[in-house]
Every structure is written in C-alpha cells, then in structure tokens.
Amino acid sequence: MIIGFLFLGLGLGYWTIKSASEMPVEKENAYMMSYQNADMNINEIMALQEAFNAKYTIELMDAKTIKVDENKNSRRKHVDPVGLNKGANQFFYRLVDKNGTEIKDAKVSFMLTRPHTDLDDKTIENLAFNGKSFETPKIDIVKAGRYTLVLKAKIGDAVGYLETPAYLVK
C-alpha cells in the first residue's frame, strides 16, 4: 500500500508538471507597457495620471455602448462596454482642459488589446487630429470576445490613460 501511494504521488507530480508546462504564458500590457515595467514604476505612473486628471479630460466620442447589468457584488466602478463591429472599427477621442478648451497638440497613442494576452494587440502611435478629435485609422477586428481600448495622452509632463472595456459579439 505504501508503494502504491508512492507511485500515485509520483504519477500526480509528473502529471502536474506536464500540464503546467503545456499551458501558454501570456504577457499583459498594463498602461501600454509590459507588466513588469508598470509594476516597477506604478508610483510615478499614478503621479503623472493625477497631474493629468487635475488639468485635462479624455473622452471617447461616438461610441455605441452595450447595456450590461451592474454586478452588485463588485466594488469596481461600473462602465458599460463599447460594442465593436465585426470588421472595420474607428475610434474618436477628444482631449479638453478643465476650462473646456480643446487640446490639439498632445502626443496621443492608442492600443486595442485583449485582456491577459498581447497576441492580438494593435498599437497606433501619434494619432492624427482631424480638427475635432484624435482619430484612429480603421482597425479590422474579427475575433469575438472581450477587448480593451487604451488611449495614452501626453501633454507636457502629464500623462493620462483611458481604458475602456469593449466587446465584439458574434
């Protein structure tokens, strides 16, 4: 019986190691950088974000949202996700200061990402200002599921981020 338990333990240990080594390890990119960089510099990122939020506001314009019931057991702020279309999607962002003046000369980057993986990331540096808003080129989205729209705006020393949940439903 002892020898049986020993073989059972060795077999389960082998199975655990084999299963774990076959699982893919995906990178996450919080704040449009690797998780490790974001983790090491989070205090600086948060200070820059607070400086940005004190002076400026980022708005996602003309986006259709999907009405989702609020999770009553969650402490997170509820935000209805943006509904994505299969095929070409384009996003428009507006930057304004606290006085309501539009900011036209910001350095703005955009990333479409799927949470917990970076395989399908689409990053666009230096979005163009079209006279009314910063606009992304048309982005082709084909895989159904959950996405995150991430915008990074740099105005002087202040850096602001806007992360918006999004879904592509079949």
Looking at the domain assignment, is residue 4 inside a domain? no
The per-residue pLDDT for range 85-99, each reduced to its tens digit, is 999 999 999 999 999
Count of structural domains, the chain = 1
The answer to whether residues 123 and 111 touch, using CB atoms and an 8 Å cutoff, is yes
* Res. 170: pLDDT tops 70: no
Output phi, psi for 9, to 5 deg.
Answer: -65, -45
Structural domain harbouring 66:
29-168
Q: What DSSP state is assigned to residue 115?
A: T
- For residue 84, pLDDT over 70 is answered with yes
CB 60 within 8 A of CB 82: yes
Is residue 16 in some structural domain? no
Selected residue with higher pLDDT from 45 and 32: 45
Is 7 part of a structural domain of the chain?
no
Q: Which pLDDT score, from 0 to 100, does residue 5 have?
A: 95
Q: HSE (CB half, 13 Å, CA atoms) of 119?
A: 6
The verdict on residue 58 lying in a domain is: yes
What CATH number should be reported for the domain holding residue 97? 2.60.40.10
- In-domain check, residue 126: yes
Q: Kindly state whether residue 14 falls inside one of the protein's structural domains.
A: no
The confidence score (pLDDT) of residue 100 equals 87
Among residues 144, 150, 104, 152, which one has the least CA distance to residue 128?
Answer: 104
Per-residue pLDDT, 26 = 65
Q: Which tens digit of pLDDT belongs to each residue from 137-161? A: 999 999 998 999 999 999 988 899 9
Q: CB–CB of 109/123 below 8 Å?
A: yes
Report the chain's mean pLDDT, rounded to a whole number: 88
151 burial class (0-12, 13-18, 19+ CB within 10 angstroms)? buried
